[in-house]
Structures are given as structure tokens and as C-alpha cells.
Structure 1
Amino acid sequence: MAHIRYTLHEGVRAAGEALRRAASLGLLVAEEPSLAGGEERDAILVLSFGTTFRQTRKKTIDAVVEEVRRTCPHVEVRLAFTSHIVIERVKENEGISYPTPEEALRKLKEEGYTRIALASLDIIPGIEYSYKREVFDACRSWFHRMTLGTPLLYWQGQEEKRDDVAEVMAAVAAELPACALDEAVLLMAHGTPHPANAYYAVMQERLEELGASRVFIYTVEGRPFLADILPKLKAMGVKKVTLAPLMLVAGDHAMNDMAGDEPDSHKSILQREGFMVQTMLRGIGENAAVRKIFAARAGEAYEALCRGADA
């Protein structure tokens, strides 16, 4: 599994804890030797930010979880949300109680599970994924073995690692509408203050390498802004724009920030700039190829769970 984990150079013979932690890139594996022995009970815990939009949740988050179950049919698979606000609103509006990651792990421990694979439904390794790493570190001692898989995008083809970005962008581009010379597609990503915001530049580059020269990525809360894209569209003579979310779900950002009728929505801004605008309200979790990649990431975490320190 060298393509999904970083290993220190063989010449490093006496790495201290600080160096080992700094070099813990890719899929993570932790063991608690004191809990070895006895029958092992395995589970996969899928971790998602969550959404209050019921219909898109069924088509995306729930659909990914079902894909994970198909990938690992003999393993207990559960779901936890990281957003406390989403958890509260879903419970209030739908009567459904989703646990936080810590609550879900505590329950698994109480039920006697000994090996846990954490699967992330994040797109990039930003703040949300950093939170999952903290959960991994905080709870790893509860179980004989724990693993944490990578988000949808992690490796970029460096040092003989695979190119997650190329794989995912090809899957996304395959479901985008074809563009005439006066048309373009704008993909709205979330954006983050985390340095992982730089992934969007790599994603844009991979789209161009795929020949999707009229597809542009912009973000709600990072860079590039929609305003950064407008001059490019005008210089290319674009008249018609299709807006689509580059997010797992088509939730609040897609329905309101992107496609809403308010004056500050992205659709309204583009219309005032003279563009014809249509919207695609489908999260990338509705893309079957993307769901399979998410499930593959979970499968990697489970395989490492079974192999342990040899993974």
C-alpha cells in the first residue's frame, strides 16, 4: 500500500516521535498493543459534515454509505456527522439523531468493537479533515487498531503516488454538459482558509489537461472568487454559463449562494453581468464514479485495518 502512505527514507534509522508524526502522511494506522488478544470485531465509521437537505442527503451521503457497504459487505458500517448545527437541525426537523464522531466511536467501544476504520467524505484535506485527524489521535487508544483513510483528493502524483486529482476531475468532467464556443461551466467549490485551498488550482490544471478548457472552478469562501472568473469569461466571449456545485451535496450553498434568486446569489450576479445562466443542482455525490472512489478510499482504510502495522 505504498501508494497511499508515505514512509521515511530507509536511511532514517532512529526517527523520534516528532519526526514520525510529521511524516504521517496519507492513510494512517494506529495500534494499541495492550488491547490485543481475543476476538476482533471490525467496523467502518463514515465521517461526513452532513446536510439538512433531506433529498440531496439520500442521493449523496446515504448513497456513498451504501456504496461502502457494497464494497465491504461483511463489515458493520455506520455514519457520523461532524457539524453540530446540522445534527441539531436534522433532529429537530426530521427526528433523526446522527452522532458526532466521538459519540459514534464511544458507542462502538461500548458494543465491543475492537478495530475501527475511519472513512472521510471530505473532498480536500482541509479543516474538516484536520478535525478527523484529531479525532483519530484522541480516540486511537480506545481500540486495538484504528485507521483513517484519505479524503477524495489527497495525492497529486508526486513521488510515485497516484494522482487523485486527475482521477476525480475525470469523473466530474464526464458528467458536465458540452460547451459551445460561447458557453462555459462554472464549478462552485467551498473554499477554506486552510492552505489546502491550493488544491483548487491543481484541480483547475487537471481539468485543462483533460481538455475541459471552458470549465472554471471558483469558491464560496476561498480563492478564486467568482469575481476572479468574470474577466476570463468576457475575454473568451462567453454568453451562456452553467453553474454546478463541486461539493458532495447540493445543499445550502448550492441552493442559495449559487442558484438562489437573491440579488447577491451567483446566478443573479452573472445575470446582471449579461450572461444567460442555467444551474445544475447535483452534488458530486450523485456521480456514480465519484461514489465508487469514496468507497475505494474506505476500502483502503479497511484493508489497512486488517493488515495492521504491515499495511
Structure 2
Amino acid sequence: MKKALIVVSFGTSYPETRKKTIEAVENRMIERFPECDVFRAFTSNVVIKKIKEQEGVKIPTVNQLMLELKEKGYKEVFVQPLHVINGSEYSKALHQAKHFKNDFDVIEVGRPLMTEFEDYEEIVEWLRDLAQPLAEKEAVVLMGHGTQHSAFTAYACLDHMLSKDPVFICAVESYPGVETVVERLKEANIEKVYLHPFMLVAGDHATNDMASDEEDSWKSQLTNAGFEVEPILKGMGEYPKIQNMFLEHAKKVVEGEE
């Protein structure tokens, strides 16, 4: 019986980080689940359009890929999102997959990176490792994407769990914003900040909104607030720990452990 595993993410139009993150996770999935044919899908139509224009490559949405798999005779389809939170992009992928529930014998959708409390605990452990070794008066600030979805609270929850550590979680499009962390950094007598993307890829947000010299970038805002700032353009998908977490989430649906 033909089985398919769809690895779905928001996507990125930056080829280098795509290879280091999304493709790296996909390759781990191919190795871990030999019984499945592994496919790529993106949820961002803007990214899909840009890649088509820039690279001549057509990446499908979950909806388009489900139609293709149906035509090719697949009976069991598993979907593993590479989204960080249970926000609108994950909801889009879930809705598109479940729309085909009567067309396949099995459709199972895995969970995003931060779903269960245990996921948060693992992320906290990973971030504490990421922050080592930090000198006195140094801190790590992470840029999450944020969302208008109710799942935006995930960032504040994680930030709260790290309240005793020199690690701060902020978001581009929701709370907590970078401006909220400046006062906390000053209260902690922090002088140097390492900026990391809290996103699967180090794409447009990380390159421009976080690390660039543009006036409103996080690097510029923190520099203007008096901190020494060192951006690190490395997406979460590059780290083996994060890859392993996605593999464990996929294992639950592919091997029926949900």
C-alpha cells in the first residue's frame, strides 16, 4: 500500500537557508520513514509565487499535493508540519488535509513544534544550551514570527518559563514585541545581546527585520538603546535537537502513537 508523508512548512524564498533547514529535515524524514514517499508542501502562497518566478520551481500547497496523491493512488497520507506554533499557518495545512478525509483510507496530521507541555520543556532546555557559554552581562534575544491567531500566547508562555535565564523571546507580529524587552535587558544590566531567529528558517524576517542595518531592524533598535548586538543567522531547522523533535512528532502519526 502506497504511503505518503507530506512535510509542510510556511516556506522560504531564500535557497541557502531552505537547504539547511527544510531540506535537512526532509532528508531526516526520508531516512527515518523508508516506508513512506516524502513530499514537500508550503503554506505561503507568496513564497510559492516568488520561488516560481525566481527559480522556476513549483512547490505545491497541501491542497494541491493531496489532489496529486489521490490521482497517483496513495491510500495513506501523513502530514508533518514544520510550523513552530499551532497558529494560522498550521490551521491552514490541517484544514486542507482534512478536506480530503473521504478520499484516503488514512489521513493523519502531526503537531507543530510547540504543542504539548513537554515540547516547551524541551525547547527551554535547548535554549539554555544555546545560551552557553554566556559571559556576565550578555543575553540571548530570539525573534519569533508572531501571529494574530490566539496561539500568539505560546511566545509569552515560553518567555515566562525562561524568566530566570538571560534568554528573551519576542515576536515580530504580536506580543511580546522587541520594545518590551529593552527595559528588561537594562534592568538585568545586560550590555551585549546575541540575536537569534526563533523561526524554522533564517529567511526574510531574520535577514532584514532582525539582522540588517535598516533603521527599524531589531539590531538597529537594540544598538540605539545602548546594547552591543551580534546577530546570528541560523534557522531553528539547522539544529539537530529541533530536527529530532519534528521526527518524534512525525513518528507519532506515521507509527500510530497518537
Give the shorter-chain TM-score range.
over 0.9
1:62 aligns with 2:39: no
Counterpart of 1:194 in structure 2 is: 149
Counterpart of 1:141 in structure 2 is: 102
SS of the residue corresponding to residue 102 of structure 2 reads helix
- Out of 280, 285, 291, the position equivalent to 2:237 is 285
SS of the residue corresponding to residue 174 of structure 1 reads helix
Percent sequence identity is 39
1:94 Cα shift?
A: 1.2
SS of the residue corresponding to residue 122 of structure 2 reads helix
Q: Distance in 2 between matches of 1:292 and 1:268?
A: 34
- Out of 46, 55, 70, the position equivalent to 2:7 is 46
Q: Distance in 2 between matches of 1:173 and 1:45?
A: 31
Q: C-alpha offsets along residues 120-174 of structure 1, whole Å, 9 cap, x if unaligned? A: 1111101111112211321111111110111111111xxxxxx111112322432
Q: Distance in 2 between matches of 1:72 and 1:135?
A: 23
Corresponding letter in the other structure for 1:183: E
Counterpart of 2:223 in structure 1 is: 271
Q: Distance in 1 between matches of 2:215 and 2:242?
A: 33
Q: Which has the higher contact order (CA 8 A, sep 6+)?
A: 1
Q: Distance in 2 between matches of 1:72 and 1:172?
A: 28
1:177 Cα shift?
A: 4.2
Counterpart of 1:215 in structure 2 is: 167
What's the Cα RMSD here? 1.4
Corresponding letter in the other structure for 2:148: P
1:132 aligns with 2:87: no
Counterpart of 1:300 in structure 2 is: 252
Counterpart of 1:10 in structure 2 is: none
Q: Distance in 2 between matches of 1:228 and 1:277?
A: 17
Counterpart of 1:206 in structure 2 is: 161
1:79 aligns with 2:40: yes
Equivalent pair of 1:172/1:287 in contact (CA under 8 Å): no
Equivalent pair of 1:185/1:215 in contact (CA under 8 Å): yes
Equivalent pair of 1:192/1:222 in contact (CA under 8 Å): yes
Q: Distance in 2 between matches of 1:147 and 1:279?
A: 38
Q: C-alpha offsets along residues 202-228 of structure 1, whole Å, 9 cap, x if unaligned? A: 2123334xx6x1110011001011111
Equivalent pair of 1:172/1:284 in contact (CA under 8 Å): no
Corresponding letter in the other structure for 2:123: V
SS of the residue corresponding to residue 243 of structure 1 reads strand
SS of the residue corresponding to residue 271 of structure 1 reads helix
Counterpart of 1:25 in structure 2 is: none
- Out of 195, 214, 218, the position equivalent to 1:262 is 214
Corresponding letter in the other structure for 1:82: T
1:235 Cα shift?
A: 1.1
* TM-score, with structure 2 as normaliser: 0.96
- Out of 68, 76, 79, the position equivalent to 1:115 is 76
Equivalent pair of 1:42/1:114 in contact (CA under 8 Å): yes
Q: Distance in 2 between matches of 1:66 and 1:173?
A: 27
Q: Distance in 1 between matches of 2:249 and 2:28?
A: 11
Corresponding letter in the other structure for 1:215: V
Equivalent pair of 1:170/1:207 in contact (CA under 8 Å): no
Q: Distance in 2 between matches of 1:202 and 1:265?
A: 24
Q: Distance in 1 between matches of 2:142 and 2:172?
A: 11
Q: What is the total number of aligned residue pairs between the two structures?
A: 258
SS of the residue corresponding to residue 139 of structure 1 reads coil
Q: Distance in 1 between matches of 2:67 and 2:123?
A: 33
1:105 aligns with 2:66: yes
1:266 Cα shift?
A: 0.7
Larger radius of gyration: 1
Q: C-alpha offsets along residues 237-295 of structure 1, whole Å, 9 cap, x if unaligned? A: 11111100000000000000000111111111111111111011001101011101111
1:92 aligns with 2:25: no
